[in-house]
């Protein structure tokens, strides 16, 4: 398969306390590099697609380590640039039972926030591309990042590249003087697929419908090329046990997946990105119901893997969809 995907967004250094240790007691941090959009690229590259991630880093060894880690996963890093600014960091504390997991973000003034819009030639980047994916985090980071995102969306739209957007409204970002309603509607407009819950619809598109089907139909009136809207549903019994399912509106109706009981969660970070990647993969390769089922199963498997990246194969996801080999010892 030779589909090509371009993703755009910041990658941060993730520092996680080991085991179930609390921040206040941590004697070491485990190192990962992650970002919502790059996590999507990693999944798709791992599944055999051609995926390139666009971002910028500080020009030091830790920035380079992040690039190397993307390459490890098979992502094309040739469009990544270096500029002034620091490496964004987020600290993760793994909860357990009734104790929640926590994230401390330390991402302001990052190289990506100070990205040079002119460092990126979108005509070149989109050569041969089939799909462009971005999230609502990027325009929330800084004016430069919003400008870069806008240039990318416009180029993708102009060049006929399908666009997916994970709206992902983050209240703690948006600190540079603009709000989501100033920026997001224009960016979302040319989307082919969006991931959004009701809160995202309201904050980023001004859609106040409280019925999901109606909200999707309203979104369609705003985004003429919109074909799909999707979201996951998570019941959190505890940090260690969640139930997960997903829905997909395909312009006609709302399809539903089965719900999975996840009873020994290892790491839920990146679960939404695994879903996003699964949906893109599925829609490029299969019918709507299969795409949704693939996306949810991919996300479930992510919860069993330490780190942001979803190192599972297409076969493993498909077997979970079919209920095969669950809990077996594969020799």
Interaction between residue 272 and Ca ion (CB under 5 A)? yes
- Looking at the Cβ atoms of 104 and 266, the one nearer to Ni ion is 266
Interaction between residue 264 and Ni ion (CB under 5 A)? yes
- Looking at the Cβ atoms of 160 and 326, the one nearer to Ni ion is 326
Choose the stretch contacting Ni ion; rule: CB under 5 A; options: 24-32, 99-107, 121-129, 257-265. 257-265
Interaction between residue 273 and Ca ion (CB under 5 A)? yes
Least distance between Ni ion and beta carbon 324 (Å): 23
- Looking at the Cβ atoms of 63 and 307, the one nearer to Ni ion is 307
Choose the stretch contacting Ni ion; rule: CB under 5 A; options: 74-82, 110-118, 191-199, 256-264. 256-264
Interaction between residue 88 and Ca ion (CB under 5 A)? no
Query: Distance between CA atoms of 30 and 90, rounded to whole angstroms?
Result: 12
Query: Under rule CB under 8 A, which residues in 142-171 are in contact with a copy of itself?
Result: 170
Query: Under rule CB under 5 A, which residues in 120-149 are in contact with Ni ion?
Result: none
Residue 18: both structure tokens together: 């080991």
Overall residue count recorded for the chain in this entry? 331
Interaction between residue 326 and a copy of itself (CB under 8 A)? yes
Residues 6 or more apart from 315 whose CB is under 8 A from it?
Answer: none
Please choose, from the candidates 156, 144, 318, 323, the residue with its C-alpha nearest in 3D space to the C-alpha of residue 225: 156
The CA–CA distances, whole Å, from 314 to 273, 305, 317 equal: 16, 15, 5
Which of 266, 304, 313, 324 binds Ni ion (CB under 5 A)? It is 266
Interaction between residue 136 and Ca ion (CB under 5 A)? no
Query: Distance between CA atoms of 104 and 300, rounded to whole angstroms?
Result: 24
- What contacts 24+ positions apart, CB below 8 Å, involve 282-289? 283/193, 283/228, 284/1, 284/3, 284/49, 284/130, 284/131, 285/1, 288/228, 288/248, 288/250, 288/255, 289/248, 289/255
Query: Distance between CA atoms of 240 and 257, rounded to whole angstroms?
Result: 22
Interaction between residue 265 and a copy of itself (CB under 8 A)? yes
Query: Under rule CB under 5 A, which residues in 9-28 are in contact with Ca ion?
Result: 27
Choose the stretch contacting Ni ion; rule: CB under 5 A; options: 128-136, 194-202, 224-232, 262-270. 262-270
**Cα pseudo-dihedral 247, 253, 258, 260, rounded to 10:** 10
Interaction between residue 307 and a copy of itself (CB under 8 A)? yes
Q: In 3-state terms, what secondary structure has residue 8?
A: strand
Please choose, from the candidates 268, 263, 241, the residue with its C-alpha nearest in 3D space to the C-alpha of residue 39: 268
How many chain residues touch Ca ion (CB under 5 A)?
Answer: 4
The CA–CA distances, whole Å, from 46 to 55, 73, 314 equal: 19, 6, 9
Choose the stretch contacting Ni ion; rule: CB under 5 A; options: 66-74, 176-184, 261-269, 307-315. 261-269
Binding mask 83-122 for a copy of itself (x = CB under 8 A): ---xx-x-x-x-xxxxxxxxxxxx-xx-------------
Least distance between a copy of itself and beta carbon 102 (Å): 5
* DSSP classification of residue 7: E
Interaction between residue 136 and a copy of itself (CB under 8 A)? no
- Looking at the Cβ atoms of 84 and 287, the one nearer to a copy of itself is 84
Residues that bind Ni ion in the complex, under the rule CB under 5 A: 264, 266
């Amino acid at each position: 398969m030779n589909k090509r995907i371009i993703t755009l967004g910041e990658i941060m250094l993730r520092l996680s306390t080991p085991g179930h240790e609390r921040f206040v007691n941590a004697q070491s941090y485990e190192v990962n590099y992650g970002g919502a959009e790059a996590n999507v690229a990693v999944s798709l590259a791992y599944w055999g697609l051609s995926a390139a991630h666009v971002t910028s880093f500080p020009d030091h060894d830790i920035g380079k380590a992040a690039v190397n880690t993307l390459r490890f996963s098979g992502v094309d890093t040739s469009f990544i640039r270096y500029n002034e600014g620091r490496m964004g960091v987020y600290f993760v504390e793994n909860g357990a039972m009734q104790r929640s997991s926590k994230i401390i973000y330390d991402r302001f003034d990052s190289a990506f926030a100070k990205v040079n819009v002119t460092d990126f030639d979108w005509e070149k980047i989109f050569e041969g591309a089939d799909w462009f994916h971005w999230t609502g985090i990027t325009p929330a980071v800084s004016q430069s990042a919003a400008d870069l995102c806008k240039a990318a969306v416009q180029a993708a739209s102009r060049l006929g590249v399908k666009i997916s957007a994970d709206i992902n409204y983050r209240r703690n970002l948006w600190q540079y003087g603009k709000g989501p309603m100033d920026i997001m509607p224009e960016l979302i407009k040319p989307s082919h697929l969006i991931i959004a819950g009701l809160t995202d619809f309201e904050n980023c598109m001004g859609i106040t419908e409280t019925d999901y089907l109606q909200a999707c139909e309203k979104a369609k009136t705003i985004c003429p090329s919109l074909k799909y809207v999707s979201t996951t549903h998570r019941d959190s019994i505890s940090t260690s046990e969640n139930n997960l399912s997903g829905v997909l509106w395909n312009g006609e109706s709302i399809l539903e997946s089965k719900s999975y009981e996840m009873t020994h969660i290892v790491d839920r970070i990146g679960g939404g990105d695994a879903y996003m990647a699964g949906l893109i993969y599925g829609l490029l390769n299969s019918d709507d119901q299969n795409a949704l089922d693939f996306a949810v199963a991919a996300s479930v498997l992510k919860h069993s893997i330490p780190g942001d990246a979803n190192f599972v194969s297409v076969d493993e996801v498909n077997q979970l969809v079919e209920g095969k080999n669950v809990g077996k010892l594969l020799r």
